[in-house]
Structure 1
Amino acid sequence: MAEKHFLQFASVAALLTVLTTIGIHFIDIPAASLEERMMLHRNPLYIFQKWMIIFHCIMVIVSMYGVAVLKFNENKGLISLGALFFAVFGITEISRMLAVLGYVNGLREKYLSATDEAARQLYQYSYENFSLVSLTMFLVFVLAFSLGNLLYGLALSAGNGYDRWLGYGLLFWGLLTLLAFCNTFWEIGAIDQIVEANNKFFQPIIRLAIGVWLRQKSKVIE
């Protein structure tokens, strides 16, 4: 019964990630100039989006662990390693968002309140260089997410029916996110468009499919 309830919870978590995925990728907060970027922490929508990303990552970990609960006995190696990569993905992105909410927003406030030009330049320097740290964390989370999807996809595609098709979807998703990882270095505009389409349209669909699959599996457990 406890397993059934957890799978129901994991199903709800997956369905919630459909909504958060749409929110994350469709909410646009333009900030072209330095002064506009330094004011972002005073924008409630910007703060809400960062907390939504944190919530999203937690729900992804829960939902993908639900997959692990169901499939662990069928392929312990692929599933356990995949679950590990999803945990790395979630923890890395949560850490990155908390760093923005704490460290980066603190630098923004200090920059705006500073009266000495030398101090403002120091805060600006620290703020701009954090982007390199953020990029590194972004690469870790994208790579971990790609590997998690690929490993789960390999495990599920060995099954039948819905399991197999969901596995194919995860393999496709994993390849797309791996392409996004590589394009961070290649910087090919056409690939950026493919990645953006994946984020906005394919991601919600596959997350919905995971949620429905988990719900169906929970119904057959006594």
Structure 2
Amino acid sequence: MLTLWGRLNSHNVKKVAWFAEELGIPYVRHDVGGQFGMSEAYLALNPNALIPTIEDDGFVLWESNAILRYLAARHGGERWWPEDPVQRARADRWTDWQFEFADAQRGAFLNLVRRPLAERDPAVIAASAAACAAKMQILDHALAQTPWLSGTAFGMGDIPMGTYAHSWFTLDIARPSVPHVEAWYARLTERSGYAAQVMIPLT
């Protein structure tokens, strides 16, 4: 059985938990990080002191998007890890692009979710919201070409940004009209794993 370490209010942990459900992989998750802390045993698995980390049949791996690629390649078959390198790369690029969006969203997320009202910085929130809006316009253009970031069907390329999309639609920030992103997000919300592992209160 797959073992996953990490608290579920982490975007990076949500990605892995959601993907495991999409793949139908039985797994057990242990809360680690944040208010749960990190034991010496965990740090022995991941000396970076970050989450998530997985153990799969004796193989230990950290870094969330590396975990997604590993799970797709080992457990997903052609459906999730296409043999055609071009097809695979078209989806996989969004896995790395997600980090650009994460950087843009960080200021708004930390201020609106992790800080009390008196400590929030409106200028940081506004700048973060504007940066997110610019990124979402790029995503909207891509989704005008194909219904999914992975192409014609839902795939691994939709997992990382799908996780961050929920935060973007939930945060109290200004958002531009991005009809293709909105339609994509609506389709994501219909997936049971997304609803269970991603659409939880932001904390």
Shared fold per TM-score greater than 0.5 = no
TM-score range, shorter chain: 0.3 to 0.5
- Please, what TM-score do these two structures have when normalized by structure 1? 0.35
- Please, what TM-score do these two structures have when normalized by structure 2? 0.37
Higher helix share: 1
Higher strand share: 2
Which structure exhibits the higher relative contact order, with contacts defined as CA atoms closer than 8 Å and separated by 6 or more residues?
Answer: 1
CA radius of gyration, larger in: 1
